[in-house]
Amino acid sequence: MEGQVQEILLLTEDGYKERDVASSVKELLQTELSLETETKAWKDLNAMYSLLSIAKFIYYVMGAIFFVLGSTVIINTTMMVIYERMREIGTLGALGMQGKELTRLFLLEGSFISIMGSTLGTIAGLIIVFILSKVGLNFTEAMSGVDMEISSILYPQVNFFIALFVWVYAIIIASLSTLIPSRRASKIQIVEALRYV
């Protein structure tokens, strides 16, 4: 119908609640133009938003699983390092280093490694996300036949706040994971450690 409008799509800025905007638009059109309209937020249009919410929850669960696996790997690796360095531990103990000092030594070493690993991993992740934000992820074939009101090409956004959170969280988790084997090292008897010489 020429000269008439059947549908208007509005893109809101970050921070605005879609349902509040929809209500405001409906009230404005009714007040200013005396038009009876039906306004809906994109979250109410189909089940896509529910699927996204479920997917977000699954991502959090997967993230927790990966953190647990990562912590287990760190603990096992540190324990292997301790057993490989029994001679060094025995020598340090014979020279008068106390258990707390041994714990601090291995904890600082593990913390340094975790800082280096977290920094390199975060930088690599930011670079990958930045490249994908320009190129995009094409899900056209995977989404063929699926009726969704979003583009099949997704463009990830670089979020420095999330990157900083992950960096700090990874350092804390990795550092705490070295605490258990570090305490184990402090309890090793000097005589037992020197047997590995």
Overall number of domains in the chain: 2
Q: Are residues 29 and 113 part of one domain?
A: no
113-121 contacts, C-beta under 8 A, 24 or more apart: 113/174, 114/74, 114/170, 114/171, 114/174, 114/175, 114/178, 115/171, 117/170, 117/174, 118/167, 118/170, 118/171, 118/174, 119/167, 121/170
Average pLDDT over residues 82-87: 74
In-domain check, residue 180: yes
What per-residue confidence (pLDDT) applies to 49?
62
Of 88, 82, 78, nearest to 111 by C-alpha is: 78
Greater model confidence, 31 or 108: 108
Q: Are residues 64 and 40 part of one domain?
A: no
In-domain check, residue 77: yes
Q: Taking 60 as the threshold, does the pLDDT of residue 80 lie above it?
A: yes
What per-residue confidence (pLDDT) applies to 146?
60
Of 16-20, 105-109, 124-128, 133-137, minimum mean pLDDT range: 16-20
What per-residue confidence (pLDDT) applies to 126?
92
3-state secondary structure of 90: helix
Q: Are residues 102 and 35 part of one domain?
A: no
Q: Are residues 62 and 38 part of one domain?
A: no
Q: Taking 90 as the threshold, does the pLDDT of residue 74 lie above it?
A: no
What per-residue confidence (pLDDT) applies to 87?
75
What per-residue confidence (pLDDT) applies to 6?
67
Q: Are residues 119 and 28 part of one domain?
A: no
Going from the C-alpha of 125 to that of each of 73, 91, 122, 131, 184, the distances in angstroms are: 21, 41, 5, 10, 34
Q: Are residues 131 and 59 part of one domain?
A: yes
In-domain check, residue 86: yes
43 pLDDT band (50/70/90 cuts)? low
In-domain check, residue 50: no
127 pLDDT band (50/70/90 cuts)? very high
Within 13 Å and on the Cβ side, how many CA atoms surround 19? 3
Q: Are residues 170 and 98 part of one domain?
A: yes
Contact (Cβ atoms closer than 8 angstroms) between residue 186 and residue 102? yes
In-domain check, residue 148: yes
Q: Are residues 190 and 170 part of one domain?
A: yes
Average pLDDT over residues 49-60: 77
Q: Are residues 32 and 79 part of one domain?
A: no
Considering Cα of 88, then 94, then 100, then 101, what sign does the dihedral take? negative
H/E element holding 1?
none
Q: Which domain holds residue 3?
A: 1-45
Percent of the chain with pLDDT over 90: 5
H/E element holding 88?
helix 86-94
Q: Are residues 130 and 64 part of one domain?
A: yes
What per-residue confidence (pLDDT) applies to 181?
73
Q: Are residues 96 and 34 part of one domain?
A: no
Q: Are residues 11 and 41 part of one domain?
A: yes
In-domain check, residue 164: yes
Strands 153-154 and 137-138 turn out to be: antiparallel
Q: Taking 90 as the threshold, does the pLDDT of residue 177 lie above it?
A: no
